[in-house]
Amino acid sequence: MATWTSRGLRGSALEDYINHTNEQYRNKGLALIQKIPTPITPVRIDKEHRHITLAYFDQRSTVDYIGAVQGIPVCFDAKECAADTFPLQNVHRHQVEFMEEFERQGGIAFLLILYTGRTELYYMRFQELKRFWERMEKGGRKSIRYEELDPEFFFTLKNGCMVPYLDEIQKDLDKRE
């Protein structure tokens, strides 16, 4: 059972950048994307400091973010990777299944991966994730090498804190046509 003190609930620079970006997109009327809170049940609370010190997950979460961009349903998950190899264990089966169902309903699903060692972001289209996932399920690599990724979908932070993922969504849409 995962708990509040597990790695999954620590603060993330990438999520802070995405939250800031989402606020900017909303203010400009470009997109309405919300962070999906992970439902938890507190087990231990530090009453003096009014902090939860231990909790457990009520249910599996789906993805980190969901919303709409110019009328198009969008969902995505944010991941960070220190090495040039992204372990597929960082993505859970229920997330892949949710993203697949989301795409079947006409939405766009993707991962945003921050390669912290390179300070580069990668927009991984769901179809690409699915291809790597199926390779793993057939007994292949359980990770994705940096060199295997589509160079067209690498990008960097804008103004030091904006994650311009709308540009990447446009590229994704263009490839689907």
Detail the residues annotated as belonging to a binding site. 62, 64, 77, 95
117-122 contacts, C-beta under 8 A, 24 or more apart: 117/82, 117/83, 117/84, 118/84, 118/146, 119/156, 119/157, 120/154, 120/155, 120/156, 121/154, 121/155, 121/156, 121/157, 121/163, 122/149, 122/153, 122/154, 122/155
* Exposed / middle / buried, residue 149 (Cβ in 10 Å: 0-12, 13-18, 19+): buried
For the annotated binding site for Mg(2+), the residues are 62, 64, 77, 95
